[in-house]
């Protein structure tokens, strides 16, 4: 296996650059007997060349020559300006290149040296190969082809190493910038979004408090709405009962049907309304009077009779309307009958009905016993005001219908 194959294999397997260069130096030392080859690498400052490999080179010399306090290696760094020129063999005793390191070289027993720059692919100095010899004038210049091959291999190894370093540096910088970016975003998140979230959280807590208070308010509101609904319905009913709009618009028949229906629902008293289909419209006062009479009679049945049912019968014949309201209740008590007979009537209801009818020339008759009460109304519809209506209170032996 040639030295090239061996070294390239080592590099391919990822061997450290120093190991590769040491291997190269060992090879050179076998090719140039007596030489203790040393490879120098250009430092990161681009000025100093530092000995890094050379397993056979005297350790004291390598150590002394690498003293960073001494400063730039004038001789070696000069090569950067004379890249193409190889310094062949020089006498360490007199060569100006050894002005600084002469003593160290002599102490290490070195007498002469051969230096060659190691150039990168871009023809930049990246290192140097030194072949120092302990004996003066004993050695000729080493085989130049072997030197070329060695320098070429050293250049490949150094460039490989540098590329790896650059890659490592790049990936370090990438990680660094990722870290920096993450740190910046984290700070931003903490300082802006975090603060806003904290504020939002406080707002939400306030809203929750408000909602809890509002929940109580909402109950009150729902109660109030219910009350308003009930009141509106009550007001509507009261208003309709005070004066049903149907009475004016659709007439007595419709108003009575509407009223009786509502009364049945409210009182649970079954009412049979006997009203001819063709019962026509009457003068307004007559319709109102009859409606009020039916209203009062049904109210009295509900309040006083105890009857489970009632019957209303309306007839219109020969310009006269008759209305009969009967129940199956307990009848008007005797003392009330007496009061009615003597002073008129005990309550406002019956007296009011009678007065209203009297103004229209009508009459109201009451028949009542223990089986029920019948109120009978007669009303002329000619609208000719007649004399006072007659109130008769008689006992009847038959139950009201």
Ligand X SMILES: Nc1ncnc2c1ncn2[C@@H]1O[C@H](COP(=O)(O)OP(=O)(O)OP(=O)(O)O)[C@@H](O)[C@H]1O
Positions touching ligand X (CB under 6 A) are 300-301, 303-305, 327, 329, 331-333, 336, 345-350, 373
Q: Which is nearer to ligand X, 220 or 342 (CB)?
A: 342
- The site string for Mg ion over 322-351 (x = CB under 5 A, - otherwise) reads -------------------------x-x--
Q: Which is nearer to ligand X, 109 or 346 (CB)?
A: 346
* CB of residue 208 to ligand X, shortest distance in Å: 56
> Is the Cβ–Cβ distance between 388 and 338 less than 8 Å?
no
Question: Which one of ligand X, Mg ion, none interacts with residue 54, CB within 5 to 8 A by kind?
Answer: none
* CB of residue 296 to ligand X, shortest distance in Å: 6
Question: Which one of ligand X, Mg ion, none interacts with residue 348, CB within 5 to 8 A by kind?
Answer: ligand X
Distance CA 323, CA 44 (A): 128
Buried b (16+ CB within 10 A) or exposed e, 155-176: bbbbbbbbeeeeeeeeeeeeee
Q: Residue of minimal CB distance from ligand X?
A: 347
- 210, two tokens: 């408000």
Q: Is 300 in the site for Mg ion (CB under 5 A)?
A: yes
Question: Which one of Mg ion, ligand X, none interacts with residue 373, CB within 5 to 8 A by kind?
Answer: ligand X
- The site string for Mg ion over 121-150 (x = CB under 5 A, - otherwise) reads ------------------------------
Q: Is 305 in the site for Mg ion (CB under 5 A)?
A: no
Collapsing DSSP to helix, strand or coil, 20 comes out as: helix
Distance CA 145, CA 131 (A): 15
Return the DSSP state at 74.
Answer: H
Q: Which is nearer to Mg ion, 29 or 324 (CB)?
A: 324
Q: Is 368 in the site for Mg ion (CB under 5 A)?
A: no
Question: Which one of ligand X, Mg ion, none interacts with residue 346, CB within 5 to 8 A by kind?
Answer: ligand X
Cα dihedral sign, 248-254-256-261: negative
Q: Which is nearer to ligand X, 157 or 301 (CB)?
A: 301
Q: Which is nearer to Mg ion, 349 or 361 (CB)?
A: 349
Distance CA 251, CA 118 (A): 126
Buried b (16+ CB within 10 A) or exposed e, 119-152: bbeeeebbbbbbbbbeeeeebeebeeeebebbbe
Question: Which one of Mg ion, ligand X, none interacts with residue 336, CB within 5 to 8 A by kind?
Answer: ligand X
> Is the Cβ–Cβ distance between 35 and 24 less than 8 Å?
no
Torsion of CA 298, 299, 303, 305, to 10 degrees: -20
- Interface contacts to Mg ion, rule CB under 5 A: 300, 347, 349
């Amino acid at each position: 296996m040639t030295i090239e194959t061996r070294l390239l294999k080592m590099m391919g397997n990822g061997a450290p650059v120093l190991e590769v260069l040491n291997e190269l130096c060992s090879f050179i030392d076998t090719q140039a007997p007596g030489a203790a080859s040393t490879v120098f690498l250009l430092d990161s400052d681009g000025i100093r060349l530092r000995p890094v490999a050379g397993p056979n080179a005297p350790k004291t010399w390598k150590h002394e020559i690498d003293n960073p306090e001494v400063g730039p290696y004038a001789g070696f760094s000069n090569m950067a300006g004379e890249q193409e020129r190889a310094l062949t063999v020089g006498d360490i005793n007199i060569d100006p290149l050894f002005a600084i390191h002469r003593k160290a070289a002599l102490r290490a027993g070195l007498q002469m040296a051969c230096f060659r720059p190691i150039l990168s692919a871009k023809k930049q100095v990246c290192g140097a190969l030194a072949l120092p010899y302990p004996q003066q004038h004993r050695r000729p210049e080493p085989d130049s082809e072997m030197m070329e091959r060695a320098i070429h291999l050293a250049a490949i190894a150094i460039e490989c190493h540098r590329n790896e370093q650059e890659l490592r540096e790049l990936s370090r910088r990438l990680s660094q910038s990722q870290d920096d970016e993450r740190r910046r975003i984290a700070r931003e998140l903490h300082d802006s979004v975090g603060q806003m979230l904290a504020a939002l959280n406080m707002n939400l807590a306030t809203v929750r408090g408000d909602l809890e208070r509002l929940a109580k308010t909402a109950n009150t509101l729902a109660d109030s709405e219910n009350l308003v609904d009930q009141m509106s319905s009550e007001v509507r009913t009261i208003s309709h009962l005070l004066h049903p709009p149907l009475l004016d618009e659709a007439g007595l028949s419709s108003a009575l049907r509407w009223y009786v229906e509502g009364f049945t629902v409210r009182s649970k008293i079954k009412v049979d309304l006997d009203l001819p289909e063709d019962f026509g419209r009457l003068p307004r006062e007559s319709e109102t009077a009859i409606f009020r009479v039916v209203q009062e009679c049904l109210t009295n049945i509900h309040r006083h009779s105890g009857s489970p049912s009632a019957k209303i019968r309306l007839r219109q014949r020969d310009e006269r309307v008759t209305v009969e309201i009967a129940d199956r209740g307990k009848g008007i008590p005797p003392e009330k009958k007496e009061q009615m007979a003597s002073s008129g009537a005990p309550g406002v209801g019956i007296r009011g009905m009678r007065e209203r009818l009297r103004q229209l020339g009508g009459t109201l008759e009451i028949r009542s016993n223990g089986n029920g009460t019948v109120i009978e109304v007669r009303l002329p519809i000619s609208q000719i005001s007649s004399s006072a209506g007659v109130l008769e209170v008689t006992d009847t032996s038959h139950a009201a219908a």
